[in-house]
Amino acid sequence: MKFTPIALSKRSMLASAAVLALVAPMSVQAQDAAEDETCIDEDADGDCDDVAGAVEQNAIVVSGTRIRTNEYDFANPVVAIDDTAIQNSGVTNLTDFLTEAPALTGSYTSNDGSGANAGIGGVGLNLLDLRNLGTQRTLLLIDGRRHVASVPGSSSVDTNTIPIDLIERVDIVTGGASAIYGADAVTGVVNFVTKRDFEGYTVRAQSGISEEGDGYTGFISATVGTNFAGGRGNIAANFEYGHDDNLLLSDRREFGPSFRSFYDNLDDQAAGDDPNVPDLILASDVNYLDSSPIGAIDVDGDFLPDFLGDGRPYIPGTFLGSFFESGGSGTPVSTYSGEILPKIDRYIGNLLFSYELTDSIRFFAEGKYARVDSESFGQPTFDFFIGVPTDNPFIPDNINDPAVNVFDGLGIVLVTGRDNLDLGRRGETNRRETYRGVAGIEADVTDTIRFDASYVYGQSDATVRQTNTRFNDRFYAALDAVDEGEFLTGTPNGNIVCRSNLTGDATSSNQNVTGAFFFDDFDQLSFTPGANSGCVPFNIFSNAQDPASLAFINTTAVDTSTVKQHVATAAFSGDFGDGFALWGDPIGFALGGEYRKEISESIPDPVNTTGLTFGNALFPETGSFDVYEGFVEVRVPIVQDRPGFYDLTANGAARVSEYSTVGTTFTYQGGLVYAPVPDFRIRGTYAQAVRAPNIGELFAPSNQTFAFIDDPCAFDNIDNGSATREANCTALLTNLGLTPAQIAGFTGDAGTSLPGLSTGNVDLSEETAKTITVGAIFQPSFIPGLVMSVDYYDVEIEDAISTPTANTLLELCVDADTLDNEFCDNIDRTPVGAGFDPNDAGVVRDFTLRPQNVAAFSTKGVDFSVRYRQPTDNLGTFNFSVIGNHLIELKTQGTPGADIVEEAGVRGAPEWQVNFDFNWTLDNFNLNYGINYWDETLRFARADIEADPDIVAPEYLKIDAKFVHDMQLRWTTDDDMSFYVGVNNIFDQEPDVGLTFYPVSALGRFFYAGVRISGDQLGF
């Protein structure tokens, strides 16, 4: 095509070559010399000038700036990963691949979006998290433009919607970029640069499977494109399909009963917390001590099971603290847990069109449709302290005996716990559909000034099907079964029916003694009691159920959501020629405006708003905002091509935004690049960025949520917090009526997940981030092909919007200076005498989670890279690449004045990460070998270890380092057909003891094979 970017000087191209070499892919691409280098013959002598790793003469648009230039004068550090690196990895899930980049290690992966790990609507999501500061602070772009969110109420984009084989490269930009791209880019951006003006065809297919025969993945992609109208136009299309199999934890032998994890050491507790004895020890064959799939029954009043539901004695195991035991008759923890990987099917179609209206005006348009289907199953429903009336005919005779059952006087048999595996595992079957269209023009106004305008529309529709969710009212009506004859006449006739079918009144099935469920609390039930209710008895003492009963009790709730995005942008960029220059190239600029509107609506299934289902009670969430923005950017080459000043260039940018929600915000950034000689350059930036609260943080209704509580006031946690925790906990529990003896033995165990509320906050304001980067690039001309870089970064976020978890909320309450704080106001505990079980005294019974501008986050670290490329005469071309990070700090502070929590070196935030890649190309063969390493990380928070050094035995304080080796061998024919095979995790490193997905995936050794066919012409 004729449309060309603004011409560059030779000095620009030479410097750009240095920086492009710097931003080497994590896996060095497999290309021969002709493909890897472009000949630049500036002196017209017929030979290529000596520029190691030189880039194309045409500039690429640098991520992190709107000024069309090469990277040589760009001050922000950029790590670029090209498409060949992605293919060399053998990974067909983008997030799984990108988490190997040190900056994205903490991203939300398929494991996070599976089974019990996933929140409502979260199954199958893959979200990027830059620098471990939150997915909401990572701005994802496609060709420098925003993408509609995949998660309602947020700005987070599911990487499953991005076509892998349409990617040219991925740019990871460190440093606040809000002045360039607007809100959300507080830590940087991840920009997916796609192929443009594609001509020819490429077809690729790949499949893989783990050594255990599970975890299958499949991938197929086809991209075709052609020029037309004498090269003025181009049209291209891409289609991709990808499949990832699910993986159930209990399907793996190593995660069965023999799986070991950490539990309370009772010997240590008996010794009064002996500092020489670890608090937690490894245990296997772990079961829940108070529940069973067929019910666990207490008959002696100690609230611990004595019988199983079928009348067999309940055999207690070895107590492990809390609600666990080793051995015994309870529900195995390994059986109870759900999937650790979801099933995902991805369908993506893209159509790209461009046409040169004139020699200086180019029109372009893009269209995308992506459908992501995901499915995962987690835990079953469960119940505690159910009072089953003694006239229930399913009760075993040896239990339903007044001489045996101390609760007979109350008219019940007490079921301490039941895990309802016979009702099926709760799960989600989700479908997310994404529509995105882009249209715009690029025009050369003059030889040095360009005008760009574009409009982006995006829409994301999600349907979340919550399977095997339970109607609680139907469950309790169905388990309250009676013999029809005995109930009506006193003479049994063997016809077992629901009591409410005979009474026509469900309140007859109230849990009046235990309080487990009261029909009176609901104005309307999900069924109409009486003979035609459809209620079929459920035998709580067995796992052999009538299918009609399951059909009556279970339902599938269908929640829907829609997110819409409109973005209109227009900008002028370029320079005004040599007349506007100092002692170097002309001063560059970009000036423009942008309008953006975000709309989000979530509509829960009506059954979820009633509060009658086992899951969270949800309510509609609707919100929107728009923002008008103006921005300016300048690039000032101060001195160039002078002794001691090969290049000294300053950059600056500013943006003013007017939000309909938080009002006016202002962001800015500045940078400087100094190269005394061509071989060496220093760069640095300072930026102030903002993130406006998203729709969910502002407008979320009061939805129900659940959480397992690890109470900070428990006797074994009370010394693990701030200096004020013990005094605050003592005062708090004393005010609830607990005695000193009760406080000394207080555990805080509720025995189940606790209900609470999660809500938005319309009074939120923007959060502010300040970022600093300083770095250097060294490309010695005396060692051709070698490029080294090092960059320091410092990010501090103030007034950060934070929604604490329930456990964090409790800790913030008692770790503050006094109990008079906003966190304690959102917690409700049970006073003495207010619970069915006396042990409930002091236990949390309700909480409210809401976002607030109270937190502070900061991180500091050093990124480094080394790349060396060595072509040889007879042995082919060798490429070596090292990309690494040293994390100096990663700090969080819940509120001003609260203790600062250091997370660097703790699980999920390794202090050292290194990716090494070796690539060798010889004739038609290519070998790629990669090593992904990070160092040992602490198993527990630093504060916990400092307060309790004997929390575990010393050898378990740290989790093993990650040390994964991958290899791929590729053979390419002379007619551009390539075949490749590979193995990831060659040495089959496994998750560390007590963990299922850290520091490595549970998949283990993984084999794959693929084929790629390409051509330059379609043939028509």
Residue 86: name the closest of 173, 224, 195, 198 by CA.
195
Find out whether 813 and 819 touch, Cβ atoms under 8 Å.
Answer: yes
What stretches of 779-899 adopt beta strand conformation (E)?
A: 786-802, 827-829, 844-849, 852-871, 877-893
Which carries the bigger pLDDT value, residue 716 or residue 775? 775
Find out whether 766 and 692 touch, Cβ atoms under 8 Å.
Answer: yes
- CA separation for the pair 708, 725 (Å, rounded): 20
- CA separation for the pair 54, 34 (Å, rounded): 11
pLDDT of residue 269: 82
pLDDT of residue 616: 81
Three-state SS across 913-945?
EEEEEEEEEECCEEEEEEEEEECCEECCCHHHH
pLDDT of residue 707: 84
pLDDT of residue 804: 85
Residue 642 exposure: Cα atoms within 13 Å on the Cβ side: 13
Which two three-digit tokens encode residue 306?
């004595």
- CA separation for the pair 170, 155 (Å, rounded): 19
Average pLDDT score over residue span 317-331: 92
- CA separation for the pair 490, 505 (Å, rounded): 20
pLDDT band at 215 (very low <50, low <70, confident <90, very high): very high
Three-state SS across 804-825?
CCHHHHHHHHHHCCCCCCCCHH
Residue 388: name the closest of 600, 234, 541 by CA.
541
Q: Could you tell me the CA-to-CA distances from 177 to 16, 192, 572, 691, 823 in Å, in that order?
A: 21, 15, 19, 11, 33
Q: Which residues of 90-125 are buried (b: 16+ CB within 10 A; e: fewer)?
A: bbbbbbbbbbbbbbbbbbbbbbbbbbbbbebbbbbb
Find out whether 408 and 299 touch, Cβ atoms under 8 Å.
Answer: no
Give the SS3 label for residue 557.
Answer: strand
Strands 145-146, 200-210: pairing is unpaired
- CA separation for the pair 802, 814 (Å, rounded): 18
Q: Which residues of 662-680 are buried (b: 16+ CB within 10 A; e: fewer)?
A: beebebbbbbbbbbeebeb
DSSP state of 989: -
| pLDDT tens string 692-702 | 999 999 999 98
Q: To which H or E segment does residue 609 belong?
A: helix 606-609
- CA separation for the pair 705, 712 (Å, rounded): 20
Average pLDDT score over residue span 204-229: 96
Average pLDDT score over residue span 623-641: 96
Q: Is the pLDDT of residue 523 over 50?
A: yes
Find out whether 326 and 285 touch, Cβ atoms under 8 Å.
Answer: yes
Q: Is the pLDDT of residue 27 over 70?
A: no
Sign of CA dihedral 272, 273, 274, 280: positive
Strands 78-82, 200-210: pairing is unpaired
Cis peptide before 851 (omega within 30 of 0): no
What stretches of 471-581 adopt beta strand conformation (E)?
A: 481-483, 496-498, 554-575
- CA separation for the pair 944, 838 (Å, rounded): 29
Maximal C-alpha separation, the chain? 112
| pLDDT tens string 441-493 | 999 999 999 999 999 999 999 999 999 999 999 999 999 999 999 999 999 99
- CA separation for the pair 1015, 652 (Å, rounded): 43
Mean model confidence pLDDT for the chain: 90
Cβ neighbours around 260 below 10 Å, total? 14
- CA separation for the pair 1002, 1004 (Å, rounded): 5
Q: Which domains occur in the chain, in start order?
A: 10-240+342-376+429-466+575-693+766-802+853-1015 (2.40.170.20), 702-763+804-849 (no CATH)
Which carries the bigger pLDDT value, residue 391 or residue 854? 391
- CA separation for the pair 751, 290 (Å, rounded): 9
Q: Judge residue 319's burial from the number of C-beta atoms within 10 Å of its C-beta, 0-12 exposed, 13-18 middle, 19 or more buried.
A: middle
Residues in Cβ contact with 264 at an 8 Å cutoff, skipping those fewer than 6 apart: 279, 280, 320, 321, 322, 716
pLDDT band at 555 (very low <50, low <70, confident <90, very high): very high
| pLDDT tens string 725-772 | 999 999 999 999 999 999 999 988 776 678 899 999 999 999 999 999
- CA separation for the pair 400, 137 (Å, rounded): 59
Which two three-digit tokens encode residue 254?
């190593």
Percent of the chain at pLDDT > 90 equals 76
pLDDT of residue 336: 84
pTM of full prediction above 0.85: yes
Which two three-digit tokens encode residue 289?
């001590």
Find out whether 472 and 612 touch, Cβ atoms under 8 Å.
Answer: yes
Residues in Cβ contact with 533 at an 8 Å cutoff, skipping those fewer than 6 apart: 477, 498, 500, 501, 527
Percent of the chain at pLDDT > 70 equals 93
Q: Which long-range contacts (CB under 8 A, 24 or more apart) does 508-514 make?
A: 508/480, 509/476, 509/477, 509/480, 511/386, 511/387, 511/476, 512/387, 513/387, 513/407, 513/410, 513/411, 513/412, 513/836, 514/385, 514/386, 514/387, 514/412, 514/414, 514/836
Which carries the bigger pLDDT value, residue 355 or residue 706? 355
Residue 461: name the closest of 317, 588, 559 by CA.
559
Find out whether 533 and 513 touch, Cβ atoms under 8 Å.
Answer: no
- CA separation for the pair 966, 983 (Å, rounded): 6
| pLDDT tens string 61-96 | 567 788 866 555 578 888 889 999 999 999 999 999
- CA separation for the pair 184, 133 (Å, rounded): 11
pLDDT band at 334 (very low <50, low <70, confident <90, very high): confident
Q: Which has the minimum average pLDDT: 590-599, 768-777, 833-842?
A: 833-842
Residue 756: name the closest of 634, 616, 883 by CA.
616
| pLDDT tens string 485-507 | 999 999 999 999 999 999 999 99
Which two three-digit tokens encode residue 661?
């929600």
- CA separation for the pair 738, 730 (Å, rounded): 9
Residue 591 forms beta bridges with which residues? Answer: 572, 632
Residue 373: name the closest of 430, 326, 323 by CA.
430
- Helix axes 725-735 and 806-815, enclosed angle (nearest 10): 100
Find out whether 531 and 503 touch, Cβ atoms under 8 Å.
Answer: no
| pLDDT tens string 860-887 | 999 999 999 999 999 999 999 999 999 9
Strands 139-142, 188-194: pairing is parallel
Residues in Cβ contact with 979 at an 8 Å cutoff, skipping those fewer than 6 apart: 970, 971, 1009, 1010, 1011
Q: Could you tell me the CA-to-CA distances from 824 to 754, 828, 893, 985 in Å, in that order?
A: 17, 8, 17, 47
Radius of gyration of the chain (CA): 31
